[in-house]
Amino acid sequence: MSKDHTLSDEHEELRRTVEEFAHDVVAPKIGDFYERHEFPYEIVREMGRMGLFGLPFPEEYGGMGGDYLALCLALEELARVDSSVAITLEAGISLGAMPVFRFGTEEQKRAWLPKLCAGEMLGAFGLTEPGAGSDAGGTRTTAVREGDEWVINGTKCFITNSGTDITGLVTVTAVTGRTDDGRPQISSIIVPSGTPGFTVAPAYSKVGWNASDTRELSFADVRVPAANLLGEEGRGYAQFLRILDEGRIAIAALSTGLAQGCVDESVKYAKERRAFGRPIGDNQALQFKIADMEMRAYMARVGWRDAAFRLLRGERFKKEAAMAKLYSSTIAVDNAREATQVHGGYGFMNEYPVARMWRDSKILEIGEGTSEVQRMLIARELGLTG
């Protein structure tokens, strides 16, 4: 594996293919979906036909036989145009299908992965609760074993891809017991959509990501087979920490895409918009602003690719993933703010992509680990505790 972050011919071909798809298919349509707060089933189906939902999974389960770098390259290119579509793919793979692939039994993999890889079905990741966000260890949802079934009670919130017409499962973290010193033992359990007692609330009214699906879930005496346990009982929290470590690289790539998209739109507008008889891009103050935006996007790309290459080489990557996620999400917000400024009044109009990017950027500093959590992780990796 190369250590200079050079893309293979296959990776570069994939990147170009997704770039073309984003500009030719997503860009002309997504604005209308976004304004209507409507899930873009047509676009998602096309992504499934392209094999994007199966990118990092083996062919034996219906995947494309690629890797996590391939996924991240696709996410960056999609997010250059729209983050709702990008987060639908990221959550569908990293949070929906990946837990099944990483920790599922062979039977579970063969039951769920083919449709998830084809994009015919979406999976969701039920971790966050109203009283347990960053403190995932504070989970209150419970699962009690009764014979050959788990009985689940509790609530999850802010769950992506959980209420679409093609959502097939939610993997739920729940307390299944206590250690000798009283600490909760958390396990992961697959809950198929439509299971009695499993209620999906109406979609949230959100600031951004308006063409993606995000909902609250409730479980009232939900019964699923004991065989739906994902991985080892009591290891659910540790399992999801691994999933989140990888997911941070994906969110960093997505954030980088949004930051680069802000550059793309600003350069285009600066060349077209005229004031005082010349393009506004002739003004050095504006040139410097856009140059700084490009620099930030470039450095964010270097960061997430370094973390991704470490993951592929089997090296430790927790610190690098946290740094990449922290930096890229921060500069995504910075670039979105500056792109709006470059566009002036038009940057405040939803018909311009930068308005959508501005609205979409803030959640990147919150989702899959807040900026504060990333700093905690980095400090711990440096040996600082307490």
Token pair listed for 313? 């080489």
Q: Give the Cα separation of 203 and 36 in Å (integer).
A: 13
**In the predicted model, is pLDDT for residue 134 greater than 70?**
no
- Which of the two residues, 320 and 351, has the higher pLDDT score? 320
Q: Give the Cα separation of 202 and 217 in Å (integer).
A: 9
Q: How confident is the model at residue 173 (pLDDT cuts 50, 70, 90)?
A: very high
Q: Which residues are catalytic?
A: 368
Q: Give the Cα separation of 91 and 368 in Å (integer).
A: 10
User: What are the extents of the domains in the chain?
Assistant: 9-122, 124-233, 238-381
Compute the half-sphere exposure of residue 376: CA atoms within 13 Å on the CB side of its CA. Answer: 8
**In the predicted model, is pLDDT for residue 66 greater than 80?**
yes
Query: In this predicted structure, what is the pLDDT of residue 132?
Result: 76
Query: In this predicted structure, what is the pLDDT of residue 237?
Result: 85
Q: Give the Cα separation of 62 and 168 in Å (integer).
A: 16
Query: In this predicted structure, what is the pLDDT of residue 154?
Result: 97
Q: What secondary structure, in 3-state letters, does the chain show?
A: CCCCCCCCHHHHHHHHHHHHHHHHHHHHHHHHHHHCCCCCHHHHHHHHHHCHHHCCCCHHHCCCCCCHHHHHHHHHHHHCCCHHHHHHHHHHHHHHHHHHHHHCCHHHHHHHHHHHHCCCCEEEEECCECCECCCHHHCCCEEEEECCEEEEEEEEEEEECCCCCCEEEEEEEEEEEECCCCCEEEEEEEEECCCCCEEECCCCCCCCCCCCCEEEEEEEEEEEEHHHEECCCCEHHHHHHHHHHHHHHHHHHHHHHHHHHHHHHHHHHHHHCEECCEEHHHCHHHHHHHHHHHHHHHHHHHHHHHHHHHHHCCCCCHHHHHHHHHHHHHHHHHHHHHHHHHHHHHHHCCCCHHHHHHHHHHHHHCCCCCHHHHHHHHHHHCCCCC
pLDDT tens track for 11-43: 999 999 999 999 999 999 999 999 999 999 999
Q: How confident is the model at residue 182 (pLDDT cuts 50, 70, 90)?
A: confident
The CATH superfamily of 9-122 is Acyl-CoA dehydrogenase/oxidase, N-terminal domain (1.10.540.10)
Bridge partners (DSSP) of residue 192 are 169
Token pair listed for 142? 């419970």
CATH code for residues 124-233: 2.40.110.10
- Which of the two residues, 326 and 5, has the higher pLDDT score? 326
**In the predicted model, is pLDDT for residue 232 greater than 90?**
yes
Let me know if the fold of 9-122 is the same as that of 238-381. no
**In the predicted model, is pLDDT for residue 164 greater than 60?**
yes
In sequence order, what are the residues at sequence separation of 6 or more whose Cβ sits closer than 8 angstroms to the Cβ of residue 282? Answer: none
Report whether 174 contacts 141 (CB < 8 A). yes
Query: In this predicted structure, what is the pLDDT of residue 230?
Result: 97
Query: In this predicted structure, what is the pLDDT of residue 39?
Result: 98
Query: What share of the chain in percent tops pLDDT 70?
Result: 98
The CATH superfamily of 238-381 is Butyryl-CoA Dehydrogenase, subunit A, domain 3 (1.20.140.10)
**In the predicted model, is pLDDT for residue 366 greater than 70?**
yes
Average pLDDT, the chain: 95
Among 205-209, 224-228, 238-242, 375-379, which is the least confidently predicted range? 238-242
The residue type found at 367 is: G
Backbone φ and ψ for 189, nearest 5 degrees, come out as -135, 135
Query: In this predicted structure, what is the pLDDT of residue 117?
Result: 98
**In the predicted model, is pLDDT for residue 1 greater than 60?**
no
pLDDT tens track for 281-314: 999 999 999 999 999 999 999 999 999 999 999 9
Mean local confidence (pLDDT), 66-76: 97
Among 60-69, 131-140, 169-178, 350-359, which is the least confidently predicted range? 131-140
**In the predicted model, is pLDDT for residue 2 greater than 80?**
no
Q: Taking the mean position of all CA atoms in its chain, how far away is CA 35? A: 21
pLDDT tens track for 190-209: 999 999 999 999 999 999 99
Mean local confidence (pLDDT), 135-157: 92
